[in-house]
Structure 1
Amino acid sequence: EGHLFEHMTLSPLGLQVIGSYTGEECMASGMSMAVETANGVIPLHGGGGSHNSQKQTFNLHWNTEVPLDVATVTAVIINGTRIPIQSN
């Protein structure tokens, strides 16, 4: 709540999110992240990156323990909310 994910990049190393927030501080790094694949749900770890409190923006990443086959990802799960991935 209060965070807008403007750009998400999924790679074999994990998920990068660039966005903005409202309020006094960025809480995005504390969010629970996972990816759903054809073989199950893979939790993402980390929450590293940076934020700019004056512009209220953030650039954060969550990592996988082993390289991820992005072709098998069907959804991103943020704090328990499933967001389906559309393939082109």
Structure 2
Amino acid sequence: MVNFSNSEHVDMVIFYGIADGNARLSRELWIEHFPNRAISCARTFTSMVQHLRYHGTFKPQTHNLNRNRTERILQAEKQILDRVEEDPNIST
């Protein structure tokens, strides 16, 4: 697995935009423009852009690392049920 710098992540976003969201074309443009940089699969471009959209940062999210998965699921379930109780017109 390649560890890309923030600068390389920004370049990925730029090429993803130039390619109009086409990950394969983004990769081809990347290879053409940066022949000496590490090359990753096309899915990396899509995953990185989705991560940026969701989290607003290139940094990995670490806020749940110390919490047990079961604990996180139970907490999420409680939040959903509380929300439905507040507004019964929404769907679970």
Shorter chain as denominator, the TM-score bin is under 0.3
Larger radius of gyration: 2
Between Structure 1 and Structure 2, which shows a larger proportion of strand residues?
1
- TM normalised by structure 2 equals 0.25
- TM normalised by structure 1 equals 0.26
Report which structure shows greater RCO (CA 8 Å, sep ≥6).
1
Between Structure 1 and Structure 2, which shows a larger proportion of helix residues?
2
